[in-house]
Amino acid sequence: MAFNSLDNGRIGIGALSTGIAQGALDEALQYAKERYAFGQAIAEFQAIQFKLANMATETDAARLLTLRAAAMKDAGHKQTGFYAAMAKLFASETANRVCADAVQIHGGNGYSRDYAVERMYRDARVTTIYEGTSEIQRIVISREILKKG
């Protein structure tokens, strides 16, 4: 029953983290299209485009890992804990990276409470701690993959 509760919590944190990452990505996209520097929207700069591409890719991967873990939970799969740990680890770490990049895209404005990415950046940090730290998730994952070898 305790492991069942952990699995639920880890999947929930995976979903929360994915939502934070998606919100930060959305804010960064909007800002990059509206903010001008050197006579053009910053979205026109390749460095910003690459950041946005990575942010979108990682956010989608986090979403898919979380959905897989939830589907396995619903199906009563015996390895739900393994997949929940992977989803929680990847999604929470992704939320932190995506939020950091969103703040970077916003520049100095990213630290201002006038912009949502400032709060998202703070909120993302705690997702690597709730329901077991990232290090604990790595232990859960490594134990499971070492069984297969």
Neighbours of 2 (CB within 10 A): 6
| Global confidence as pTM | 0.94
Question: Into how many domains does the chain fold?
Answer: 1
> What's the CATH code of the domain at 89?
1.20.140.10
The set of residues, in sequence order, having a beta carbon less than 8 Å from that of 92 and lying 6+ positions away, is 13, 14, 17, 124, 127, 128, 134
pLDDT of 6: 83
pLDDT digits (tens, 9 = 90+) for 38-83: 999 999 999 999 999 999 999 999 999 999 999 999 999 999 999 9
Q: What is the dihedral of CA 88, 89, 94, 99, to 10 degrees?
A: 80
Which domain does 52 fall in, by range?
Answer: 2-148
pLDDT digits (tens, 9 = 90+) for 121-142: 999 999 999 999 999 999 999 9
**Catalytic residue of the set 27, 58, 118, 131:** 131
Q: Is 36 helix (H, G, I), strand (E, B) or coil?
A: strand
Indicate if 58 belongs to the active site: no
Mean local confidence (pLDDT), 114-121: 96
